Each structure stands twice: as C-alpha cells, then as structure tokens.
Amino acid sequence: MTYDSTRKLNKVMKVKKVADGTDAEQVKSGFMPVPYNINFELYILSKNSDDALQIVEQILPYFQPEYTVTMREVPELEIIRDVPIVLNSINYEDDYEGEFTSRRSIIYTLSFTAKYYLYGPVTSSNVIRSVQVDQYADMPVNSPKREQRYSVTPTPNSVAATDFDPDDDNFGFNETTSFFEDAKEYNPVTGQDE
C-alpha cells in the first residue's frame, strides 16, 4: 500500500448523512478519506501454454488499462464510489528446462493497482436546531457594559421549527440581533440574564 498525494482531498471537510429509523434526530459524519494505491498480483499457473493463454485472454480485454468496480465503501454514510483497478504489467515464466519426466509449469503474473480510499471512524451527533452567540465588549470600569446577542433558528416552510425533517433542504433562517446596554451577566448554564 502506498499513499497517493495526487488524489488528496481537503482533510477538514466532512461527509454527513442523516440517520434513518429510530435515530432520525442524529447526523452521522466522517472526515474525508485518505487515498491509497493497493498493489497486488494474480498468478496463473498451467501445465501447458494453451490453457494459460485461454485464461489470460479472458482477463485482458476488460483492462484498457483499467477496470472500474463500483463499491459501497461506507454503508453508514451511503458512500458508493467507482474504484479503478489498473493492470500495470504481465510477466511470463516457463521452466521447461530439466528432465523430460519433470513437471512443466507456465506462470503468468499480472500486476494490478487498485486506487482505493481509506475512511476513518463514523461519528454521530444531534441535529443543531438553534444557535445563540453572545458578544461582550470589555469596557473601562465606569462605562456601561455592552452586549450583543445573535440568534439563528431554521424556519421551514409551513412547519413548526421543531418539527422539520433534519435532511430537509426547504427552509430558511430566522435571525435575531439584540443589543443591550448595562446588560446583566449572561449565565450560560441557565440560559438567563442575571
């Protein structure tokens, strides 16, 4: 196995999928895969040349120079990818030399490279339904404290904000910005100003 830097993807991006069934409120995610080339060989062993050639003739027409296999790589995220398998070389070996009574072996060696991706673990988390950001300005002691609260909640079309499907793409955003002077301290545990 060798790392293939030519197929490298952004490593901080994630692939996400909303879970099915009882976990419909969960979002499964995983980081982008790491590209590797997996080299392997296929050996064809035969007693006579005619049998070996018939086997090789059934394999070679599919590789021009690659054959693509569709694979379900990560079933949890429903990632399906076409993986090319490249035929690199064909070697022939015939050890006919020796006694007449000894066994003759003809060996064809086909070298392949599969351009595969390796994935890390799949994690799950709850769907984020609202975001609240509190910003404070650190003012001198005699100045009034200033606070800005920015809130965002999804507003799906004709559905309550808490009832929409997590993978629904037909929604907008309800944005609220509030400014406070002489603001009380915000307690993140209780979610209230004190």
The verdict on 28 and 108 lying in the same domain is yes
What is the rounded average pLDDT of the residues 120-132?
82
Q: Quote the percentage of the chain above a pLDDT of 70.
A: 73
Residue 184 has pLDDT above 60, yes or no: no
CB 73 within 8 A of CB 79: yes
Position 170 confidence tier, pLDDT thresholds 50, 70, 90: low
The verdict on 148 and 98 lying in the same domain is no
How confident is the prediction for the chain on average, in pLDDT?
80
CB 124 within 8 A of CB 108: no
Report pLDDT for 165: 61
What is the rounded average pLDDT of the residues 116-136?
83
CATH code, domain with 33: 3.30.2000.40
For residue 91 the two structure tokens come to: 């070697």
Domain boundary among the residues 67, 94, 123 is at 123
Domain boundary among the residues 90, 123, 156 is at 123
The verdict on 44 and 91 lying in the same domain is yes
Domain boundary among the residues 123, 152, 173 is at 123
Domain enclosing residue 98, as ranges? 2-123
The verdict on 72 and 167 lying in the same domain is no
The verdict on 103 and 133 lying in the same domain is no
Q: Quote the percentage of the chain above a pLDDT of 90.
A: 27
Residue 183 has pLDDT above 50, yes or no: no
The verdict on 36 and 100 lying in the same domain is yes
- Domain tally for the chain? 2
The verdict on 107 and 163 lying in the same domain is no
What is the rounded average pLDDT of the residues 90-108?
78
The verdict on 116 and 142 lying in the same domain is no
Residue 9 has pLDDT above 80, yes or no: yes
Q: Which residues of 59-89 are buried (b: 16+ CB within 10 A; e: fewer)?
A: eeeebeebbeeeeebbeebebeeebebebee
What is the rounded average pLDDT of the residues 48-61?
90
The verdict on 115 and 37 lying in the same domain is yes
Peptide bond before residue 65 is cis, with ω within 30 degrees of 0? yes
Report pLDDT for 84: 94
The verdict on 133 and 49 lying in the same domain is no
Residue 86 has pLDDT above 90, yes or no: yes
61: helix, strand or coil: helix
The verdict on 132 and 105 lying in the same domain is no
The verdict on 38 and 76 lying in the same domain is yes
